[in-house]
Structure 1
Amino acid sequence: MANYTAADIKALRESTGAGMLDVKKALDEADGDQAKATDILRVKGQKGVSKREGRTTENGLVAASAGDGVGTLVELLCETDFVAKSAKFGDLADAVLKVAVSSGAADAESLLVATGEDGKTVKELLDDANATIGEKIEIKRVARVEAPVVAAYLHKTSPDLPAQIGVLVGASGSEQTARDVAMHVAAFSPTVLHRDDVDEETVANERRVAEATAREEGKPEQALQRIIEGRVNGYFKENVLHDQPFAKEPKKTVAKVADEAGVQIVNFVRFKVGV
């Protein structure tokens, strides 16, 4: 008879994040000893790390931190939503974010080699988690924003999952306005801050498509230029943060709202899990 209880199984699952079957096998092999079972899970898990390299990570969460004029955003991915919403994965994300903040890492490569207070690199933390949880876990993106005021906003697309969208907005002026803009960015997903940030090739292509579409629709020649400009402006309103109708006051653009509040938006970053 196995020398462990249902409570032991539950405790080991919570501490390692491993699956039920793996936990039972480890406890059987360790004769119920929690510490030995944990080591068994880690050893077996490490052997499988290379096998998981080719797996797809489409779930996960976004973690954010902002304060003292600096904001950090980290996207941590895993294979299943079951793991994404687990406490073990959430704790791992918190640990990774803490190292990202303390190290000042601004990209995934820099963060992986950064070291936490326990002396472990983030890559070692991920390898340990890969081993015990049994899924491929990776950092997809990291962003760092510096400005007089940095607002962070996290949004859940499902109540059962952790935050799937994270935004940082760097600005000068009102912190509340910056946060309102961050919430707007989460909802409307602009791609650039200013019109000038849209590359010339993209604008030229939008003009070509607009003209071809107008001609296909049989629009009169004398109206073509006006129609083309209108459709290109429509592209800007959809993709440029300053040109978008503000979420809380759709009759005003984001630029207008910021100007009235005495706020200058410096930059922004938006992550959505798996996108």
Structure 2
Amino acid sequence: MANFTAADVKKLRELTGAGMMDCKKALDEAEGNVEKAVEILRIKGQKGVAKREGRDASNGAVVSLLEGGNSGVLVELNCETDFVAKGDRFVEVANAIAAHVAKAAPADVDAALASEIEPGKTVQQFVDEANASLGEKIVFRRFAQFAGDGYVAVYMHRTSPDLPPQVGVLVELDKENAEVAKDVAQHIAAFAPKFLSREDIPAEVLESERRVAEATAREEGKPEAALPKIIEGRVTGFVKESAVLEQAFAKDNKKTVQKVLDEAGVTLKRFARFRVGA
């Protein structure tokens, strides 16, 4: 029997939406490796696997701060309920953390939590105070900070009018173009790419997709001679879904995002997209 726990089964169910017994069997086959178990369930055709990967029930808000056109910060702060998320105090805490990150430029969340947001008070202590005053768990989950000689823009999206923004996108172009920056940021918000370009996709991720594509094609009974073309076709499809420059542009699906940028004479240097809980 593979070495896995009830928590592993729960995590796999949240990631894939598969039944408990299917998850147990997949974990057994994967020798307790959750990521491999996800692959196994995908190959076997469990409904909704791809859509449910990474799902998290956390509430909260994404806030942003832009300064001078060439620097910006995106922060995700989580809480337990939407009731707290839409409260003024919670948003104030999130904005204070964003302002601190913009000033302190910490290396990562751990460094941010250890830094002083007020004299004698760390960000961790500041968050702990919010926990106490708001009556539920508050978590400073992540941040992105862009600063340099490029042009930085942000797009914030509300999924509900009574909640703070649940999706935030930070983009950096090599030169100023407010219209294109906004269009591309909105596209990223809607289509959720994970990578900038094909070259940015780790080799192990592409190899994983090839394994899934091959195993799935064999499960479907595809002819052996056709497998290489089918596999590469499915990997190419994955790249077009995952890399923003390869995606069909939201406002004109006859063009890729790369084509839109080329026509405008600008380069997308990097981006960050946060969705609360995802």
Task: Name the TM-score class by shorter chain.
Answer: 0.7 to 0.9
Match for residue 8 of structure 2? none
Match for residue 74 of structure 1? 75
Paired residue secondary structure (2:255): coil
| Alignment pair present for 1:223 and 2:226 | yes
Cα deviation, residue 71, structure 1:
1.4
Larger radius of gyration: 1
Cα deviation, residue 67, structure 1:
2.9
TM-score by length of 2: 0.73
Match for residue 60 of structure 2? 60
Cα distance change of structure 1 residues 119 and 179 upon mapping to structure 2, 3 Å threshold? farther
Aligned length: 220
Structure 2 Cα separation of the partners of residues 121 and 161 of structure 1: 28
In the TM superposition, 1:33-182 aligns within 5 A as 58-68=58-68, 69-116=70-117, 120-147=121-148, 148-173=150-175, 174-182=177-185
Structure 2 Cα separation of the partners of residues 89 and 217 of structure 1: 50
Q: Could you tell me whether the CA contact under 8 Å between 1:106 and 1:142 is conserved in 2?
A: no
TM-superposition CA deviations, 1:147-183 (whole Å, max 9, x none)? 4111111111122211111111111132321221111
Cα deviation, residue 262, structure 1:
0.7
Q: Could you tell me whether the CA contact under 8 Å between 2:73 and 2:144 is conserved in 1?
A: yes
Structure 2 Cα separation of the partners of residues 219 and 133 of structure 1: 57
Structure 1 Cα separation of the partners of residues 57 and 98 of structure 2: 19
Paired residue secondary structure (1:219): coil
Cα distance change of structure 1 residues 113 and 202 upon mapping to structure 2, 3 Å threshold? closer
Q: Could you tell me whether the CA contact under 8 Å between 1:57 and 1:80 is conserved in 2?
A: no
Match for residue 252 of structure 2? 249
Structure 1 Cα separation of the partners of residues 164 and 185 of structure 2: 18
Match for residue 183 of structure 1? 186
Paired residue secondary structure (1:252): strand
Cα distance change of structure 1 residues 185 and 191 upon mapping to structure 2, 3 Å threshold? same
Q: Could you tell me whether the CA contact under 8 Å between 2:246 and 2:256 is conserved in 1?
A: yes
AA of the residue aligned to 2:237: G
In the TM superposition, 1:17-28 aligns within 5 A as none
Divergent runs of 4+, >4 A: none
| Alignment pair present for 1:210 and 2:209 | no
- Give me the CA root mean square deviation: 2.0
Q: Which runs of 5+ in 1 are unaligned?
A: 1-55
Q: Which moved more, 1:143-152 or 1:103-112?
A: 103-112
Structure 1 Cα separation of the partners of residues 212 and 99 of structure 2: 46
Structure 2 Cα separation of the partners of residues 100 and 210 of structure 1: 41
Cα deviation, residue 249, structure 1:
1.1
Cα distance change of structure 1 residues 246 and 57 upon mapping to structure 2, 3 Å threshold? closer
AA of the residue aligned to 1:163: P
Structure 1 Cα separation of the partners of residues 208 and 130 of structure 2: 45
Structure 2 Cα separation of the partners of residues 215 and 123 of structure 1: 51
Cα deviation, residue 223, structure 1:
3.2
Q: Could you tell me whether the CA contact under 8 Å between 1:57 and 1:136 is conserved in 2?
A: no
